[in-house]
């Protein structure tokens, strides 16, 4: 009986521990502030394909002249992608279409960008989009900024 309770306790702890670690990691990322929910599609198709393929849910954080993007469902302590303000070119924005509406959070807007020649799309709320575009436009004097 004691062995069965011990085994059940270990199974419960092993089931809850990964969820606790994901929550702790997100809390540590958000601790310094300047974070927002942001889905990312790297190497986005050029023809405006609005399929739900390639989207990854994440959290972005402003860090000086960079935006660091972290996957939500990852234990990695470092950002998966780092976008430098001087290398981001905004190509346009649109609302999610067809299958994308299921892959993205509600009321998110898709922002098409180029970063060092790589097409990418960011999906974020209207408030986060306003902040992101303001951050891009607030570049120090002499930096080239391309905001659509």
Instruction: Please give the chain's pLDDT, 148 residues, in tens.
Output: 888 888 888 888 888 888 887 777 778 777 877 899 999 998 887 765 566 678 999 999 999 899 999 998 888 889 999 999 989 999 999 998 878 888 888 889 999 999 998 999 999 999 999 999 999 988 777 666 666 5
Q: Which two tokens stand for residue 78?
A: 């470092």
CB 16 within 8 A of CB 42: no
CA separation, residue 22 to residues 18, 19, 71, 76 (Å): 6, 5, 10, 10
Q: Is the pTM of this model over 0.85?
A: no
Q: Strands of 118-125's sheet, edge to edge?
A: 39-42, 118-125, 108-115, 88-94
The dihedral of CA 147, 121, 59, 38: what is its sign? positive
Q: Which two tokens stand for residue 59?
A: 């959290």
CB 104 within 8 A of CB 94: no
Q: Say how far apart CA 120 and CA 118 lie, in whole Å.
A: 6
Q: What is the pLDDT of residue 109?
A: 94
């Amino acid at each position: 009986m004691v062995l069965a309770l011990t085994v059940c306790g270990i199974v419960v702890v092993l089931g809850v521990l990964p969820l606790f670690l994901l929550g702790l990691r997100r809390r540590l990322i958000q601790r310094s502030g300047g974070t927002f929910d942001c889905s990312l599609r790297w190497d986005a198709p050029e023809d405006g394909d609005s399929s739900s393929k390639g989207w990854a849910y994440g959290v972005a954080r402003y860090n000086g002249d960079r935006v660091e993007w972290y996957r939500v469902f990852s234990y990695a302590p470092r950002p998966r992608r780092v976008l430098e303000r001087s290398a981001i070119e905004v190509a346009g924005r649109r609302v999610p279409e067809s299958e994308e509406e299921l892959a993205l959070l509600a009321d998110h807007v898709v922002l098409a960008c180029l970063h060092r020649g790589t097409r990418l799309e960011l999906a974020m709320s209207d408030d986060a989009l306003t902040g992101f575009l303001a951050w891009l436009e607030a570049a120090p004097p002499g930096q080239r900024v391309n905001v659509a």
